[in-house]
A and B are shown apart, each in its own frame.
Chain A
């Protein structure tokens, strides 16, 4: 039973265009959401996060949007760069616990 779902296993985007990665969740008790980026043979690296009381958080080229009514999270990367090519995981923290639930990841390929 996947509480955090990333339905697109892969995405290809042209350099300079916008990349949009999506994540859906089922547990309304999640209170914090995060995105991690992972390069091959490395551990995931934190990218950006958002509290459940907000609907947008921006950090440079990266913006995360949260739609609580739809239980939907998205990561926008503008403009996309070849170095952004990696696997992106969304994660959610269960309220009142220290437990984080990760999605299955989306592989982003930015084409030069």
Chain B
């Protein structure tokens, strides 16, 4: 079966542009997480969805970051007016249910803001 997929895998954008990062979770997985990972660091929690409901967005750094999962499947993380400090690996993970601790991670999107 297919794992978690993310697109694009690499994104280079100019400062000030908006970017949208897509996550396609494992089919049937209820829970979806977004993380940001800087080089040499562990994943940093950004936001959590249970079906289409965004139940925790406490990790989003500021209001330039938003996420949605309108039909409870595919999710999009949007960064508006990108800044160089937004450059990082953005990872998506899904799990079967809200009480499933095992998360399946996607390969990530490497975002570079120039």
A residues at B contact (CB < 8 Å):
4, 32, 34, 36, 41-46, 49, 89, 91, 93, 97-105
Identify which of B40, B43, B98, B107 contacts A102 (C-beta below 8 A): B43
Range of interface residues on B (Cβ < 8 Å): 20 to 34
Count chain A CB atoms within 10 A of each CB in B41, B101, B102 and give the residue with the most. Answer: B101
Count chain B CB atoms within 10 A of each CB in A42, A49, A98 and give the residue with the most. Answer: A98
Further pairs besides A44-B91, A105-B40: 7, Cβ < 8 Å: A4-B42, A36-B105, A43-B107, A45-B105, A98-B31, A98-B55, A104-B42
Interface residues of A, dominant DSSP: strand
Judging by beta carbons under 8 Å apart, are A101 and B40 in contact?
A: no
Count chain A CB atoms within 10 A of each CB in B45, B59, B91 and give the residue with the most. Answer: B45
Judging by beta carbons under 8 Å apart, are B59 and A43 in contact?
A: no
| Cross-chain pair count, CB within 8 angstroms | 58
| Cα-based distance from A42 to B9 in the complex (angstroms) | 11
Taking the closest CB of chain B, its distance from the CB of A90, in whole angstroms, is: 8
Judging by beta carbons under 8 Å apart, are A43 and B55 in contact?
A: no
Q: A41-B107, A43-B108, A98-B56 are in contact. Are A103 and B42 (CB under 8 A)?
A: yes
Q: Mark B15-48, 1 if CB is under 8 A from A, else 0.
A: 0000000000000000101010000111111001
